Structure 1
Amino acid sequence: MVSHPLLIVMILLTIELLILGLARHQRTKAWFNLLPPVFWIYFLPMLASTFGLLDARSPVYGLITTWLLPASLLLLLLAVDLKAILRLGPTALAMFFSGAAGIIAGATLVFGLFKPLVGERFWSGFGALSASWTGGSANMIAVKEALAVPDQVFAPMVIVDTVVPYLWMAALIAGVAWQPAFDRWNRADRRIIDELGNRLAAAGQTLQQRFSPSGFLLILPAAAAGSGLSHWLGSRLPVIKDVVSGYTWTIVLVSLLGLALSCTPARRLEQHGASTAGSWLLYFVLTAIGAKASVASIGSGLILIGAGLLIMAVHALFLLVAARLLKAPFFLVAAASQANVGGVASAPVVAEVYQPGLASVGLLLAILGNIFGTYLGIICAQLCRLF
């Protein structure tokens, strides 16, 4: 069994780099069509610790998550373009938040129904899942650490977060054939789509990344300073037992700090790969979280997949009601839904399938989810805890 902290770090880094390398290589990237890289980055360290190759109780895992997670969140939020998001207009934004409300309401109600089957301790797991389905993987991990979600609760939620979004994306893509009929039935205002195209055409260009040693050397100190400041402030704010801990404050504050810095010249760090570095740190944190878990803890995965599908049903109902009230086209139903559930990787794909040339609508809505997902996940968890 490997127990030396330095060796553990080297093994975790090797797993991360190996998976990311295979996922990008032309010959092997198709292997990850069914199960994405983020799943294997979590699952392989779990297997290693379960079978005694890694010491699952090493304190190095806690140090990695405590210090690197805030740094990764800060870097990921630096690239946010708030002006471009606001250009989407009230209808698109209302559809996104309607979908997010459906996730929160669905997770809360479904937890109430499934509590006798999965146990009361899963209240925090449903909160972490809702963070992913209103934001993304970074939000899910942030809520996991902010609420100290037990590893035996988090592990099956990773399975649900892998399976259900893929099924949902397939359903949304298949639904493109119903787009004309739905818009006629809903008397949808198709001018909204033209307005979206005009607004996005006026949006500023995305910052282009160009790696340079000097720029990259600025990224790491900035991330460390932001993480340290958030820890310092979070430790001085009031703690509410079982609701808000010092680390919860740290996650909330570093997210706000990253968003605030995105409105300053600090956003130029994205030109040197700030979000890429943030992703690398986030995946490394995920390897550490996986190494603390056990394969035995994913036994309730099938039951929870059923719960996840019910959450999707409530989410869809909220979106359809909102579309009816707002006369929104089916394009926005699909784009907002995938932005919630799928995130930045898949939302542009669905948006492009429905309306060629408007993939950026899905992308910007998904980035909006990255901003709010952590907060919404914490709120959802507390609603579940009330049960």
Structure 2
Amino acid sequence: MPETEHVAPLIKNDAVTLGLLLFLLAIIFFTSSSSRPFFKKFYSVVPMLLLCYFLPSLLTTFNIVDGENSQLYFMASRYLLPACLVLLTLSINLKEVFKLGSKALIMFFTGTVGVVIGGPLAILAASAINPGLVGGAGPEAVWRGMTTIAGSWIGGGANQAAMYEIFKPSDHLYSIMITVDVLVAEVWMAILLIGVGKSKQIDKYFKADASSVTHLKNKMHEFSQKIARIPSTTDLMVIAAIGLGVTGFAHLVADWIAPFIELHAPVLKKFSLTSKFFWLIILSTTIGIGLSFTKLRNYEGAGASKLGTVFIYILVATIGMKMDVGKIFDNIGLFAVGGIWMIIHVVLLFIVGKLIRAPYFFLAVGSKANIGGAASAPVVAAAFHPSLAPVGVLLAVLGYAFGTYGAWLCGLIMQAVAHT
């Protein structure tokens, strides 16, 4: 298929783009908190968070901003994401989190298994309908490109890059797979967010007891309310220093530890331990949890998690900006394969969720801890209640740890299936 000529976007300056994204976020937040009947009805149907992804994607789809070459996602994922992880985990009550029990872990690993078996089954299903769709040879073999989706869907960007290095798909195929990855994952994200508003009905269908989730939410909310105060400039400066200071320290250590492991223990690469981004997430989360045992957790009362939430919504907007909805029609067949893959992941989650009577919260966060990692799981958890965001963070860390190994296994099975 001949490539269409690339037309320069209207806005190429990242400073202008960032201002535009924040303007969109402000409109969404302002209207979602409005008491006007129209907005109340609109947001009862359309989740606010979904708009925070979707509206920035339209800027790229209509060639207003340069979503492909913008550095805003890199900035948000490397600076704002670690800072928000620190600020969101600062007030975490780890003892209460452990009381959630084993169902959260079961749903997380069910999501992982769904991705590992879903890829090969999607290839088998597609080849039965149209064998040419999942064919190709050498670097253009479709299964090679699909391994990078597996890396992203079990862990995240670092695991995706690892699959690219291991299975070596062509750059052209890799770029298509990134688009399939982002768009299919965000469609599922949209469905999950719509489900948040129906979580009580879903829990009733599953016959699930969500009291442990409610208890944790209430505990953390009570703590936040008890220490709440009007923040001073000093409070805000200290909160910013905690978030960005820990981020700076995490970068310092990650820049040393990742190359050290790559040099002295390269076998650990399959667990993402040679990725600087992996260590950035691990260190930020761990230090944030550590600080939750100190008096610094009282800065939650001055709005620590609120600033963290601002950071994460900026990240959400930059993720949305990377999505060009129009590209679906360029590779409709591969999007169908990705859709089948995602459906297998979802069906397995619902079957296991029903069997073990897991609350919808565990299903949603367990899924996004795989498909989206630290950039999405806390956002989905926070959609239930802002105080639940740390649960998403902790599960996402598991995704990074198992992502490369699970994706590698998935890749080997897809290779075998593609050659049968």
1:383 aligns with 2:406: yes
Q: Mapping of 1:265-304 within 5 angstroms? A: 265-298=295-328, 304=338
1:311 aligns with 2:345: yes
Tell me, in whole angstroms, the C-alpha distance in 1 between the residues paired with 2:304 and 2:16: 27
Equivalent residue of 1:207, what SS? helix
TM-superposed CA distance for 1:176, in Å, is 2.1
Q: Which is worse superposed, 112-121 or 25-34?
A: 112-121
Q: Mapping of 1:345-384 within 5 angstroms? A: 345=382, 367-384=390-407
Tell me, in whole angstroms, the C-alpha distance in 2 between the residues paired with 1:38 and 1:199: 22
Instruction: State the Cα deviation string for residues 26-74 of structure 1 (Å, max 9, x = none).
Output: 2314323444222222222222123222233233443333211211221
Counterpart in the other structure of 2:105: 97
Tell me, in whole angstroms, the C-alpha distance in 2 between the residues paired with 1:199 and 1:12: 33
Counterpart in the other structure of 1:232: 252
Q: Which amino acid aligns with 1:372?
A: L
Tell me, in whole angstroms, the C-alpha distance in 1 between the residues paired with 2:88 and 2:219: 24
Tell me, in whole angstroms, the C-alpha distance in 2 between the residues paired with 1:18 and 1:81: 33
Tell me, in whole angstroms, the C-alpha distance in 2 between the residues paired with 1:249 and 1:105: 24
TM-superposed CA distance for 1:18, in Å, is 1.4
1:121 aligns with 2:145: yes
Tell me, in whole angstroms, the C-alpha distance in 2 between the residues paired with 1:212 and 1:124: 44
Using structure 1 for the length normalisation, give the TM-score. Answer: 0.73
Q: Mapping of 1:193-212 within 5 angstroms? A: 205-208=222-225, 209-212=228-231
Change in 2 beyond 3 A, CA 1:177/1:93: closer
Instruction: State the Cα deviation string for residues 68-117 of structure 1 (Å, max 9, x = none).
Output: 1211221112121112223x2xxx51222222221111121112222565
Tell me, in whole angstroms, the C-alpha distance in 2 between the residues paired with 1:78 and 1:259: 6
Counterpart in the other structure of 1:159: 187
Tell me, in whole angstroms, the C-alpha distance in 2 between the residues paired with 1:159 and 1:107: 16
Structure 1, unaligned stretches of length 5 or more?
A: 132-142, 183-189, 324-329, 349-359
Q: Considering only aligned residues, what root-mean-square deviation do their CA atoms show, in Å?
A: 3.8
TM-superposed CA distance for 1:272, in Å, is 1.2
Q: Is the contact made by 1:96 and 1:336 (CA closer than 8 Å) also made in structure 2? A: yes
1:14 aligns with 2:23: yes
Q: Is the contact made by 2:246 and 2:287 (CA closer than 8 Å) also made in structure 1? A: yes
Tell me, in whole angstroms, the C-alpha distance in 1 between the residues paired with 2:400 and 2:154: 5
TM-superposed CA distance for 1:14, in Å, is 0.7
Equivalent residue of 2:101, what SS? helix
TM-superposed CA distance for 1:306, in Å, is 4.2
Equivalent residue of 2:54, what SS? helix
Instruction: State the Cα deviation string for residues 274-315 of structure 1 (Å, max 9, x = none).
Output: 111111111112222332332234456565444333223322
Change in 2 beyond 3 A, CA 1:178/1:154: closer
Q: Mapping of 1:42-121 within 5 angstroms? A: 42-56=53-67, 57-86=69-98, 88=99, 92-115=100-123, 119-121=143-145
1:252 aligns with 2:282: yes
Q: Is the contact made by 2:114 and 2:345 (CA closer than 8 Å) also made in structure 1? A: yes
Counterpart in the other structure of 2:366: 340
Equivalent residue of 1:206, what SS? helix
Tell me, in whole angstroms, the C-alpha distance in 1 between the residues paired with 2:55 and 2:149: 21
Change in 2 beyond 3 A, CA 1:306/1:35: farther
Q: Is the contact made by 1:46 and 1:295 (CA closer than 8 Å) also made in structure 2? A: yes
Change in 2 beyond 3 A, CA 1:46/1:264: same
Change in 2 beyond 3 A, CA 1:65/1:273: same
Structure 2, unaligned stretches of length 5 or more?
A: 1-9, 127-133, 135-141, 163-174, 369-379, 412-420
Counterpart in the other structure of 1:138: none
Tell me, in whole angstroms, the C-alpha distance in 1 between the residues paired with 2:84 and 2:307: 7
TM-superposed CA distance for 1:158, in Å, is 0.9
Q: Is the contact made by 2:22 and 2:314 (CA closer than 8 Å) also made in structure 1? A: yes
TM-superposed CA distance for 1:227, in Å, is 0.8
Q: Is the contact made by 1:70 and 1:251 (CA closer than 8 Å) also made in structure 2? A: yes
Instruction: State the Cα deviation string for residues 127-148 of structure 1 (Å, max 9, x = none).
Output: 55556xxxxxxxxxxx347756
Q: Which amino acid aligns with 1:232?
A: L
